[in-house]
Amino acid sequence: MSILQMPWSKAKPLLDTLRSEVKSSGLWSPQLAKEYGGLGLSNGDFGKVSEILGMSPIGHYVFNCQAPDAGNMEILLEFGSEAQKATYLQPLSEGKIRSCFSMTEPENAGSNPVLMNTTAIKEGNEYVINGHKWFTSSADGADFAIVMVITDRTNISPYHRSSQIIVPLNTAGVHIVRNISVMGDAGDGYFSHSEIKYENCRVPVSNLLGNEGDGFTIAQSRLGPGRIHHCMRWIGICERAFDMMCRYAVSRQLSPGKSLAEKQTIQNWIAECRAEINAARLLVLDAAGKMDINGQEKAKVEISIIKFYVANVLQHVLDKAIQTHGALGITDDTLLSWWYRHERGARIYDGPDEVHKSRVAREILKSYTT
C-alpha cells in the first residue's frame, strides 16, 4: 500500500524515519537560512533541488521544505519577532511541529485582496478573530496557523487593510469543519485541505506578524519564492512522468516486435513534451536568477509567466503520459493518476492562469501607454 493511501497516523512514522535519514545526511531544510539549520540555498539553487524532490510526492516533506511550512518559515524569518522565531520558527525548522496558512475564503475570489471577510478586532491585549476559511492546507493536526485577516477595513488603500496573525490551532474557537474532499481524496494530516471557522478566537497582540496592515505585503513576499518552489516541483513531476512515458512506450508491444514507441503520434508527444519541459525549466531558472539578483518586484512578469506556463506544461505532460499508458494510466497502479488529480489545482491556486495572464499583460502594456 502506497504511503499516499495510508491514513496519516500510519504514514507519519514512516515519513519520520526518512526525515531522520535526511537530517543525518546534512541535507535538511535546503531552502532555510544556515542559522536555522538549513543549507541557505538561493532561489535558483533551491529550485534545482526542488525539481529532484518533486519527483516524489513526499520529497519536499521528507527534506522539510514542504509547503506551507517552508513559506511560513520564510515569513517568520523575515517578519517574525524574536519571540515568534523562538516559539514557532525554531521547532518548525527542526521538523518538530507543523503549520498552515489560512488565507482563502470560500465566499470570496482569492485573486482579489480586497475581498476578505475574516476580521481581527483588537480588544485590549488581544485580537478577536472571526471568519471562514478553506483550503487551509495541512491544517489537520498542525500546531499553528498564520491567518490572513482584515484589521482596518476602511483604510484608503486596499493593500493595507489586512494583517497576518499567528493562531495556535488549540485556541478556543478554532473549528476545523472538515477536510475538504479534493478530487476524490479528503486526506488527513499533512495531506489535507481544511475548511476552518474562526469564532471569537482570542490571541495575544504579540501574535501579529510584522505591523498591522502588512498582511498583503507579507503574503506577496512569500509568493515569488513559492512559485519557484512549486514550478520546479512541477518540473520534477514532468520529468518523472516523461520518463514513465518513454519507458512504457518502449516496453509495450503492439504486435510482435513492434512497440508503442514506434508510433509517430507517441514520438510527437515525446518530442513536444521534451521541448516544453526544457522550456519550462529554463524559464523558471531564469526567473529565479532574476529574483535572486534584482528582487521579486523586478521579476514579477517572469514570476507570473512561469506560474501559468509551467502549470499548463505539467497538465499537458501528465495527460500525454496517461494517454500513452492506456488503461493503466487511469488506474492508481502508477503515480500518474495521483498527479492528474492532485495537481489539477496547479492552474488555480496562487492565482489562476487567467489572473496571471492579465497581470503580465497590464505590466507589459504600462510602457506603451506612457
Contacts to its own copies from residues 28-87, by CB under 8 A: none
Q: Which is nearer to its own copies, 250 or 293 (CB)?
A: 250
Please state whether 67 falls in left (phi above 0), alpha (psi between -120 and 50) or beta.
beta
180 sits near its own copies (criterion: CB under 8 A): yes
Q: What is the DSSP string of 295-314?
A: -TGGGHHHHHHHHHHHHHHH
Q: Which of 27, 176, 182, 205 binds its own copies (CB under 8 A)?
A: 182
Among residues 30 and 351, whose Cβ is nearest to its own copies? 351
Whether the ω angle into residue 68 lies within 30 degrees of 0, i.e. cis, is yes
Closest separation in Å from C-beta 277 to its own copies: 10
- Under a CB-based contact definition with an 8 Å cutoff, are residues 334 and 244 in contact? yes
Note whether 177 binds its own copies by CB under 8 A.
Answer: no
Question: For residue 279, is it left (φ>0), alpha (ψ between -120 and 50) or beta?
Answer: alpha
Q: Does 97 bind its own copies (CB under 8 A)?
A: no
Candidate residues 329, 335, 339, 350; the one interacting with its own copies per rule CB under 8 A: 329
Q: What x-and-dash track marks residues 210-239 binding its own copies by CB under 8 A?
A: ------------------------------
The answer for residues whose C-beta is within 8 angstroms of residue 218's C-beta and 6 or more apart is 75, 78, 79, 164, 209, 210
The residue count for binding its own copies (CB under 8 A) is 83
How far does Cα 268 stand from its chain's mean position?
Answer: 31
Please choose, out of 11-19, 116-124, 223-231, 272-280, the segment that lies near its own copies by the rule CB under 8 A. Answer: 272-280
User: Which one among 94, 274, 292, 316 touches its own copies, defined by CB under 8 A?
Assistant: 274
Q: Which is nearer to its own copies, 83 or 271 (CB)?
A: 271
Instruction: Name which position in 183, 293, 294, 295 contacts its own copies (CB under 8 A).
Output: 183
On the CB side of 17, CA atoms within 13 Å amount to 5
In the bound state with its own copies, the residue whose beta carbon lies nearer, of 34 and 153, is: 153
Least separation in angstroms between residue 148's CB and its own copies is: 15
- Smallest separation, CB 358 to its own copies (Å): 5
SS3 143: coil
Q: Kindly state whether residue 157 participates in binding its own copies, applying the rule CB under 8 A.
A: no
Characterise 335 by phi-psi region: left (phi > 0), alpha (psi -120 to 50), beta (else).
alpha
Contact set for its own copies, span 278-297 (CB under 8 A): 278-280, 282-283, 286
CB 118 within 8 A of CB 148: yes
Report the candidate in 47, 42, 43, 31 with the shortest Cα–Cα distance to residue 281. 47
340 part of the interface to its own copies, by CB under 8 A: yes
Which of 14, 83, 109, 121 binds its own copies (CB under 8 A)? It is: 109
Query: Which are the contacts of 363, defined by CB distance < 8 A and separation ≥ 6?
Result: 300, 301, 304
Should residue 140 be labelled a site residue for its own copies when binding is judged by CB under 8 A? no
Cell of 201: 478566537
Q: How far is the CB of 214 from its own copies (least distance, A)?
A: 23
